[in-house]
Structure 1
């Protein structure tokens, strides 16, 4: 009898959910699946999902047999996003959860041996005029390419500059401010203090803390629809738009070999600690379908070679060096886009890696902007630590 009741209850709930799912919503594609505002306007919530399906084919240039490439098919990203305001429109929040294997990777004793579901969990309080305080876990104000959402990229994925030098997400506070020098000239400043260990760490602070400052100059005013943080010129700016920016990041007593990223530098008695600094300089330009993004990154450390108490090297080395990334594209009137990218990684000699260069050519078709698109690119990489090679990628992206 109990089983029967449970079955009927489950069936009833299913029917209710099915009936509700047939209701017509006024929500527009790309603006979220659900948008709710309280009757008294005391809170709101927007719910959205997005997925990326990626296929990759790779060839080793040093292998004469091109008939046996390495292939890979995967759900690159599968995410749930929530956002809105609470109590007042000046108090906003954002939650983003990652469900794909790539999003959940990094399980370790430092995350309580659990998957890293949480990407963003942050509150944004506009407490006074142009000042906004962010509290929680989210992206640090690093290089522009990293801060651009993976849903809004111009190519299939970010460059090697980003994968090797970015400072990604962390938990802490950020103070943001903006003002105008003239009718058009906009200046934005960000300063953050974070834990310095990366996202979803549950063991607390192991080294020092991380301090990040970023300054952005927009001499010709704002980009349309926040286009300075979206790939390509999908809005076809009718007047030139430019952002020039610089970031300085200082991670005191860092215990990872890429600031708050990479692997932990362990010793026989604990962790190796050293001060790590990272500098980013970047630029974004857009005009009538043409777009350009340039980035420079430089990382250095007080003592890059990790050692034991007696001075013996542990084998860990801070990944010090610099990188350049240049990317340009043109959006045709039929919403096809061609894009080219050049990336250069130049590590310091003590790292023991050769100069890495990558040339990428991509073609994208924007069906509904970044919300529904198909992208493909082919890359030629030289002097990679894994050998020079060719890589072709095809990706489908849908963003509700």
Structure 2
């Protein structure tokens, strides 16, 4: 594994060095914007960037005598993007190098595989307002998941997202953007494999289908802010985005559809997402609701005593958060999340109350985030989680 990563990094260092010597120009070199090159004949462009997150996290409950805590590299990424042949054909490659970024297929069913590749997608602007995406990337699901982990308002995404998001998948996506008066309307749809990223075996079930509609009645956000945590651009006029998405995973084989363990049986999964984002002069608010069902029943394996041993994760969740960014670039934010799994799954519901404090030094490229969470799980003592994270993006 180490040898493979070393060879990969050596290749990209050589590639970047070659282009520094032979490129037409370096367009930008500001912190957070990466290194950018354009070929001498303008036939391609390359932007290289890297980022990592250093996290400290701790947990304690009411009766605990010892703190459970640790330091870790939560994420470490390499990103490459630009255009090839024509500016209308863009690409993005994102690699995850930390242990938290790299997952494995279930060795009981498939060959073990390191999931280093997060994104590998080509985006073709074949007509005004239309783009065709081919490859592996995030599906057009809930807003919180589409927001980059670099640009979240809190140290990490909510419990709603960890339980029900549809993550990344490999296939085709079609995106359309147009205006109706001052409103911006976006429609997107996808057909994908259904098992998530980097699955190299035959499709275990059917395909996955996603459709999404988003409306921005007050116009476009500054800097793509509809998918950026907090109002770091300080919108001069109110901005609002409202979206709904529906996902159908035909004969899913993993407990979350694209994520989680592979189970002994398959189920159709249906997921509905509804969300909004609002921003105005430093204030931001976002909320999401999700409902996931398995019409044939989520449980696929029980023990002789009737205990649930394998189940798909179904139910519903709600998340709402808001924050204010002061002129000093300190932000205080609060979040409430409730997770309600179907009773038949025997999974425990949870509620979380989170208070966050962030100092943005260079936007989302250099920041220090912290938050404290009260986790309420029926039948157990309340748990207190606290985290501090440093984000560095070059």
Q: Out of 331, 335, 352, which is 1:337 matched to?
A: 331
Are 1:89 and 2:91 counterparts? no
- The residue number in structure 2 matching 1:325 is 319
Asked whether the 8 Å contact 1:305–1:313 carries over to 2, the reply is no
Q: Report the equivalent of 2:9.
A: none
Q: Is 1:220 the equivalent of 2:213?
A: no
Q: RMSD value over aligned CA atoms?
A: 2.1
2:166 aligns to what?
167
CA contact (8 A) 2:308 2:345 kept: no
Alignment check: 8 A CA contact 1:49 1:80 kept: yes
1:284 Cα offset (Å): 0.2
- How far has the Cα of 1:353 moved from its partner? 2.7
Query: Partner of 1:41 in structure 2?
Result: 42
Q: Is the 8 A contact 2:106 2:262 kept in 1?
A: no
Question: Deviation string for 1:45-79 (max 9, x for gaps)?
Answer: 00000010000111022x252xx200110011111
Q: Deviations over 1:257-305 (max 9, x none)?
A: 2122221111xxxxx1221101100000000000000000100002222
Any idea what SS the aligned residue of 1:338 has? strand
What corresponds to 1:8 in structure 2?
none
Alignment of 1:259-270 (within 5 A): 259-266=257-264
Pick closer, same or farther for the CA change 1:64–1:99 going to 2, 3 Å: closer
Whole-Å separation in 2 of the counterparts to 1:74 and 1:305? 34
What is residue 52 of structure 2 aligned with on the other side? 51
Q: Which residue in 2 is equivalent to 1:269?
A: none
Hey, what's the Cα distance between the residues in 2 that align with 1:329 and 1:214?
26
- CA distance in structure 1 between the aligned counterparts of 2:158 and 2:127, rounded to whole angstroms: 37
- Give the alignment partner of residue 233 of structure 2, picking from 235, 250, 263: 235
The match for 2:254 is 256
Unaligned runs of 5+ in 2: 1-12
Q: Find the counterpart in structure 2 of residue 290 from structure 1.
A: 283
User: Following the alignment from structure 1 to structure 2, what is the Cα–Cα distance between the partners of residues 111 and 225?
Assistant: 42
Match of 1:31, SS state, is: coil
The structural deviation recorded for 1:307 is: 5.4
2:189 is aligned to 191
Q: CA deviation at 1:85?
A: 0.2
Instruction: Tell me whether 1:350 sits opposite 2:331 in the alignment.
Output: no
Are 1:207 and 2:205 matched, yes or no? yes
CA distance in 2, matches of 1:354, 1:166: 18
User: Does the 8 Å CA contact 1:48/1:81 hold for their aligned counterparts?
Assistant: yes
In the TM superposition, what are the counterparts of 1:350-389 in structure 2 within 5 Å?
A: 350-383=344-377, 388-389=382-383
> Residue 132 in 1 paired to residue 131 in 2?
yes
Cα deviation for residue 41 of structure 1 reads 1.0
**Of the two, which has the highest radius of gyration?**
1
Q: 1:104 to 1:354 in 2, by over 3 A?
A: closer
Helix, strand or coil: the match of 2:231?
A: coil
Q: Partners of 1:112 and 1:386 in 2: how far apart?
A: 38
SS of equivalent to 1:398: strand
TM-score by length of 1: 0.88
How far residue 236 of structure 1 moved from its aligned partner, in angstroms, is 0.5
Q: How many residues align?
A: 369
Cα contact 1:232–1:291 (8 A) shared by 2: yes
Structure 1: 4+ residue segments shifted above 6 A: none
Q: How far apart, CA to CA, are the structure 2 residues paired with 1:371 and 1:140?
A: 24
Q: CA deviation at 1:112?
A: 3.4
How big is each residue's C-alpha offset from its partner over 1:225-263, in whole Å with a ceiling of 9 and x where there is no partner? 000100000011010000000000000111122122221
1:111 CA drift (Å): 6.5
> Gaps (5+ residues) in structure 1?
1-12, 267-271
Task: State the shift of 1:384 in Å.
Answer: 6.4
Find the residue that maps to 1:227 and give its secondary structure: helix
Cα displacement (A) at 1:105:
2.3
Aligned to 1:398: 392
